[in-house]
């Protein structure tokens, strides 16, 4: 009972603020609503007992990535863009794409119930992944050590690339 | 734990809203934010399946996706700043340098 109340609260907050994020005129408002969506998603992660992802979501997404977005929104002059048309002409295309995607996933979920041995499984016991950080660390530094190192290289490359692209170009003398 | 269909449809709804944002918005920064929303929707799926199968691999992949999102945001915002410095615009349909 309490579980479902928490889920529906966070889910409705997430969907509502995501819809607001896509439709707002001011980019700062969009960023604020995206932060609300990400926090609500963090609540869903906590309800799923994924405590480490919950903390990583708040620290990395809300504390890191969104601050970067807000910085760039403030660096880029937006008051001209505010008075222009906000939506491109593909409104109907996007609605059709969304409808087709929705139909695809719904039909696939509905059809997957008929597969032998498929269907939606019962949940594993709650304490199987507890303590969460420890289980995650065993997996991350054991079976997934190579992807972990590759991710660190990826972050280094992205950091260097971002600095190179954003810095002011000076003419060679 | 709710039945897993609830999580799948929450994730689907966020994914579709993000898709609509990517296709329709003209402001490139908001397009990038919609991409972040899509990545986040996928994370919900991964964590929900990780919980239901009792396998921690889904959460590891969610962590990798968060790291990817950070890298992608940094590079994307760098491109936006460089482009704004050259062309004084951040509207997607005015970025037509490569259009023939």
Instruction: From first to last of the 173 residues of chain A, give the pLDDT tens digit.
Output: 888 999 999 999 999 999 999 988 888 899 999 999 999 999 999 999 899 999 999 999 899 899 999 998 888 876 666 666 767 677 788 889 999 999 998 888 888 777 665 555 666 677 777 788 898 999 999 999 999 999 999 999 999 999 988 887 776 65
* pTM attached to this predicted model: 0.89
Q: From the CA of B85, how many Å to the nearest CA of chain A?
A: 9
Distance CA A42, CA B23 (A): 26
Q: List the single residue in A14, A60, A69 with the smallest CB-CB distance to B14.
A: A14
Which whole-number Å values give the CA distances from A17 to A63, A165, B86, B93, in the listed order? 18, 32, 33, 26
Question: Rounded to whole angstroms, how far apart are CA atoms A160 and B1?
Answer: 42
Q: What is the pLDDT of residue A152?
A: 94
Complete DSSP assignment for A47-112: HTT-HHHHHHIIIIIIIIIHHHHHHHHHHS--HHHHTS--B-S-HHHHHHHHHHHHHHHHHHHHHH
Give the burial class of A45: count Cβ atoms within 10 A of its Cβ; 0-12 exposed, 13-18 middle, 19 or more buried. buried
CB pairs under 8 A between A and B: 234
Task: Identify whether the C-beta of residue A46 lies closer than 8 Å to the C-beta of residue B51.
Answer: no
- Out of B23, B33, B40, closest to residue A90 by CB: B23
Q: What is the mean pLDDT of residues B72-84?
A: 90
Which ipTM was obtained for this model?
0.92
Catalogue the long-range contacts made by A127-135 (C-beta closer than 8 Å, 24 or more residues apart): A128/B54, A129/A49, A129/A50, A129/B50, A129/B51, A129/B54, A129/B56, A129/B59, A130/A49, A132/A49, A132/A50, A132/A51, A132/A52, A132/B59, A133/A51, A133/A52, A135/B56
Q: How far is CA A6 from the centre of its chain?
A: 20
Residue of chain B nearest A5, judged by CA positions:
B2
CA distance A173 to chain B (A): 21
Q: Which residues of A touch B33 (CB under 8 A)?
A: 21, 30-31, 34, 69
B88: helix, coil or strand? coil
Are A41 and A14 a contacting pair, CB within 8 Å? yes
């Amino acid at each position: 009972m309490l579980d479902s109340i928490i889920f529906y609260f966070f889910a409705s907050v997430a969907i509502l603020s995501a819809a607001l994020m896509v439709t707002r005129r001011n980019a700062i408002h969009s960023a604020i609503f995206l932060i609300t969506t990400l926090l609500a998603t963090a609540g869903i992660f906590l309800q799923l007992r994924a405590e480490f992802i919950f903390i990583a979501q708040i620290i990395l997404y809300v504390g890191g990535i969104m601050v970067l977005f807000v910085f760039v929104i403030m660096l880029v002059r937006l008051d001209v863009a505010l008075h222009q048309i906000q939506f491109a002409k593909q409104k109907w295309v996007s609605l059709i794409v969304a409808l087709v995607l929705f139909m695809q996933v719904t039909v696939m979920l509905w059809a997957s119930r008929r597969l032998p041995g498929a269907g939606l499984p019962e949940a594993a016991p709650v304490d199987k992944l507890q303590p969460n950080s420890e289980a995650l660390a065993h997996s991350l530094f054991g079976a997934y050590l190579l992807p972990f190192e590759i991710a660190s290289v990826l972050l280094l490359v992205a950091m260097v690339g971002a600095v190179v692209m954003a810095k002011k170009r000076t003419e060679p003398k | 734990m709710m039945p897993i269909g609830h999580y799948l449809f929450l994730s689907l709804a966020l994914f579709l809203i993000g898709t609509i944002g990517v296709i329709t918005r003209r402001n490139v920064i908001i397009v990038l934010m919609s991409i972040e929303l899509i990545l986040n929707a996928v994370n919900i799926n991964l964590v929900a399946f990780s919980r239901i199968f009792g396998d921690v691999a889904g959460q590891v992949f969610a962590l990798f996706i968060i790291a990817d999102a950070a890298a992608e945001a940094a590079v994307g915002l760098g491109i936006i700043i460089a482009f704004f410095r050259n062309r004084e615009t951040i509207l997607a349909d005015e970025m037509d340098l490569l259009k023939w």
